[in-house]
Amino acid sequence: MEDYIDGPELTVSIIGKRLQPVVLPHVQIAPVAQQFYDYKAKYTKGETNYIIPARINDELTAKLAEQASTLYRAIDFSPYVRMDAKLDAAGNIYFLEANTLPGFTALSLVPQAAAACGISYTELLLLLLYLALETRL
């Protein structure tokens, strides 16, 4: 049992080499009819609004990016990762998980975050393949 964190749920997508991570726009996860981001909210089109960029202030946006980048470098999540987090009322960040192989469906968040900064689905896949090959050679 854990304390409930009453605040927005966010996801941070990062791509790049270990020492040169690039943080994509944060995504705010807002279920439409349900209180929690459960299976139905996640996998049923129209059940969740994905707000890009997240509706948080510039200070929290930068803080979230910095903390996520620090984790990315420390644990070496390259070539990419999607980290889920919650913010409490005081602006404290709680990372819930780091997904090193996030989905790539039409509803997936890494492709949505990439699209928000002009990276197409095909370009994203090619970039990730290049980075994966580069880091393994």
Looking at the domain assignment, is residue 2 inside a domain?
A: no
Looking at the domain assignment, is residue 110 inside a domain?
A: yes
Instruction: Give this prediction's pTM.
Output: 0.90
Which pLDDT does position 2 carry in this prediction?
78
Residue 84 CA to residue 106 CA, distance in Å, equals: 18
For residue 128, report the phi and psi dihedrals to the nearest 5 degrees: -65, -40
Looking at the domain assignment, is residue 101 inside a domain?
A: yes
Looking at the domain assignment, is residue 120 inside a domain?
A: yes
Residue 28's Cβ-count burial label (10 Å; 0-12, 13-18, 19+) is middle
Looking at the domain assignment, is residue 1 inside a domain?
A: no
Looking at the domain assignment, is residue 4 inside a domain?
A: no
Residue 104 CA to residue 33 CA, distance in Å, equals: 24
Looking at the domain assignment, is residue 99 inside a domain?
A: yes
Looking at the domain assignment, is residue 3 inside a domain?
A: no
The count of structural domains within the chain is 1
The CATH number given to whatever domain includes residue 84 is 3.30.470.20
Domain that holds residue 107: 9-136
Give helix then strand counts, H and E, for the chain.
Answer: 4, 6
The mean pLDDT values, 10 residues at a time, for the chain of 137 residues are 88 90 96 87 90 96 97 92 95 95 85 95 92 76
Which pLDDT tens digit goes with each residue over 53-77? Answer: 999 999 999 999 999 999 999 998 8
